[in-house]
């Protein structure tokens, strides 16, 4: 799932952020969990959904004035 390069990059980012080194195994596990979380919560918007959102925003803006 994660390449060696991605694991190494994650280790570097983790160390820079938290000041602590983690093993390749820990980096792989955390990285895989992060990817899974993004997959679960990220849903691209369709053109129809985007248009609907724009219409709702316009209606909301109209109420403010």
pLDDT of residue 30: 97
What is the chain's pLDDT, residue by residue, as a tens digit (65 residues)?
899 999 999 999 999 999 999 999 999 999 999 999 999 999 889 999 999 999 999 988 877 76
pTM, 2 dp: 0.66
Report helix, strand and coil shares of the chain as percent, to nearest 5: 80, 0, 20
Measured between alpha carbons, how far is 23 from 40 in angstroms, rounded to an integer? 26
pLDDT of residue 65: 62
Q: Are 24 and 32 in contact (CB under 8 A)?
A: no
Direct distance between the N- and C-terminal alpha carbons of the chain, in angstroms, rounded to an integer? 51
Question: Could you tell me the residue ranges of all domains in the chain?
Answer: 4-64
């Amino acid at each position: 799932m994660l390449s060696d390069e991605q694991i190494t990059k994650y280790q570097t980012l983790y160390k820079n952020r938290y000041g602590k080194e983690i093993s390749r195994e820990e980096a792989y596990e955390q990285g895989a969990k992060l990817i899974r979380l993004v997959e679960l919560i990220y849903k691209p918007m369709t053109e129809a959904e985007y248009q609907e959102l724009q219409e709702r925003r316009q209606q909301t803006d109209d109420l403010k004035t």
